[in-house]
Every structure is written in structure tokens, then in C-alpha cells.
Amino acid sequence: MTIPQPYLMFLGDVPDQLAAKTAAGIADWRPEWCVGQLRLAGCRADLGIADLSIPEAKAKGARTLVIGVVNAGGVLPDHWIGVVVAALEAGLDVASGLHTRLGSVSAIAEAAARHGRQLFDVRHSDRHFATGKGVKRSGRRLLTVGTDCSVGKKYTALALEKEMRARGIKADFCATGQTGVFISGRGVAIDAVVADFIAGAVEWLSPAADPDHWDLIEGQGSLFHPSFSGVTMGLLHGAQPDAFVVCHEPTRTRMRGVERALPSIAEVIDLTVRCGQVTNPAIRPLGIAVNTKAYDEAEARRYLDSASRTHGLPATDPIRFGVGVLVDALQAEFP
């Protein structure tokens, strides 16, 4: 799937920054692909890039409107449909990472057909997967796991890929979500795969590779999240990771979308090892990646030092301090 660049990032009127995580991910990791953002009144997300209308974006060369938001269930709100149709009429293609297929909305399907435009549903794949088999595959695998959704699992995996490649280590980010698929141009949104095939899709995503090659597999959900733990479990088993990094956001008081507290890092380490041993008896924690954005630098360093001592693992904020300590540990433990 080749989505014509550059993009106009559509944020709708989402209620918070995290809801625009797809757009934020693309803007952070592929800034050269984004000409600006289109936001509706009341929008509480901001990528910090130019606010543009459709005609303004078109004038700047935009070729695709990317619906860069997430919500529980991945639905397309009715009051956004007009914007999507306007983009098509203006000559843009439209790409979306929602569960709702763009073409399932008749006004959108008709506008696309009428204007000869393409609709990309990045959440969906025509590929048929086999069921997972749990057979050991050559090569190394690292999985990012989390105490919640949206705690930095994708960012950590992308940061690891960048740092490892800079050190000459063979490494590939394996996208398991729509945003990762947008960013890397490959992968599969496993949360949109039929349940029986989750592990199988991940085995396809991360096939046998050279013994010194690392697949950096993007985690999804959390084993402790009541909505998405099934996705997390199937991913863990399909990925058969040798190592995992626990991602966390320490000021979050409630898991995304549900009324419950986050598990502790220790609980996540313990359950990930217990479950992960089914397909890789050697699975172990490598380190901790914390989103310390809510802290100033001194607080962040204190938190990370404490986490590192508590768990006996390197701890960092991938964005603020880099993933050097994690890759140091990886090189030491997997020579």
C-alpha cells in the first residue's frame, strides 16, 4: 500500500492529545511527510504544525488527508464525514487507521468514486493468515509491553531501531498497529485481525531471520487492560520475544478508557515472563522505558534512577534521554 505524500493530518475535534496519537506518531517520526494539520472547533490535540484548511493544504502540495486519530472502537464520527468528502472533492486521497472502513460510509464511497480518488484503510488487510504454531524462529526478537495503552510502546521500538541501526546492528521495527503501519509502510494492525489469527499474524510479521538480526516488535495494549488483553496475549505468543521492555507513564491514574488503576511495572514484568515462557522459555526483561513528559528533568532522573534500582534494570525516557542504556544492555546480554 503506497499512500501518496505529503499528508494533511486530520485531527477532528478529539478530546485530548492522546486521541491524536496516530497523527502525532507520523508527525514525530516522519515530519517531512506532513504539510500541516486540520482541526475542528473544540479540538484538544495539537501537533504543533501549521493549521491549514483543505485548499491551503492542497496549495502546499498535500496529496492525502490522513485521519490520524483513535477512539475506543475506532469509529468515524458522523460530523467528520463532510470534511472527508470535501478532501476528496478537492482532489486529495484519504487514509484512515480506524476500524470503520472509509468505503462503508456511502457519502465517502460515492465521493471517492465520483472523483476517482483512493481510500486507504490502514487498519484492514486483505491478507489471510494461518493460525500461529509457536515454532521457534531464527533471529532475535524484542517486544515492547506496557502498563497501559498509549505509554510509549511504539516510540520505544522505533527509538531502539534507530539507535541499533546507528550502531550497525541489524534491526527492523515491526508495526502491529495502524500508526506503526503508517510510519513504516509495512506491518499489520493486529487488533483488526480476526481473533483466531492474532498469533499467526505476528508470526507472519516477524519471520525467521539471521541469528544476529533483531525484530523490534511494537507492543499493543496490556495484559492488564480489560479491553485489549487478548490482543496483547496473542501478540506476546506470536512474537516469542527473547527480551522485552516495559513501558510506563507514572502520572497516569486510570487506564485508557476504563475505570481502573494501572498495574505496577513489577506486575507487568512478572506476568509477561510467565505468559511469554509458553513460546520462548528464555524470555526476560531488558529494561524500562518511561514517558517522563509530566516531570521536569530532575524529577525524571530521580524517577528513572529509582525504577532502575527497584527492578535491577536499565531505565530511561527514550525521547528525553535516548535508548542508549537499553541498547548497551542488549549488546551486553546478547553478544
Interface positions with a second copy (CB under 8 A)? 72-74, 99, 130-135, 190-200, 223-224, 226-235, 237-238, 257-260, 271, 274-275, 278-279
Q: Is 140 helix (H, G, I), strand (E, B) or coil?
A: strand
Is 29 or 197 the residue whose CB approaches a second copy more closely? Answer: 197
Smallest CA-to-CA distance from 33 within 70, 61, 71 is with: 61
Q: Are 84 and 102 in contact (CB under 8 A)?
A: yes
To the nearest whole angstrom, how small is the minimum distance from the Cβ of residue 219 to a second copy? 13
Smallest CA-to-CA distance from 141 within 218, 238, 269, 240 is with: 240
Is 265 or 300 the residue whose CB approaches a second copy more closely? Answer: 265
Quick one: CA torsion of 269, 271, 276, 278, rounded to 10 degrees? 150
Is 93 or 218 the residue whose CB approaches a second copy more closely? Answer: 218
Is 52 or 233 the residue whose CB approaches a second copy more closely? Answer: 233
Q: Are 288 and 317 in contact (CB under 8 A)?
A: no
To the nearest whole angstrom, how small is the minimum distance from the Cβ of residue 229 to a second copy? 5
To the nearest whole angstrom, how small is the minimum distance from the Cβ of residue 278 to a second copy? 5
Is 12 or 132 the residue whose CB approaches a second copy more closely? Answer: 132
Is 64 or 144 the residue whose CB approaches a second copy more closely? Answer: 144
Distance of CA 33 to the CA centre of its chain: 17
To the nearest whole angstrom, how small is the minimum distance from the Cβ of residue 274 to a second copy? 7
To the nearest whole angstrom, how small is the minimum distance from the Cβ of residue 17 to a second copy? 20
Q: Please enumerate in sequence order all residues whose Cβ is within 8 A of that of 302, keeping only pairs 6 or more positions apart, or say none.
A: none
Q: Please enumerate in sequence order all residues whose Cβ is within 8 A of that of 161, keeping only pairs 6 or more positions apart, or say none.
A: 171, 172, 173, 216
To the nearest whole angstrom, how small is the minimum distance from the Cβ of residue 333 to a second copy? 25
CA distance 83 to 99: 18
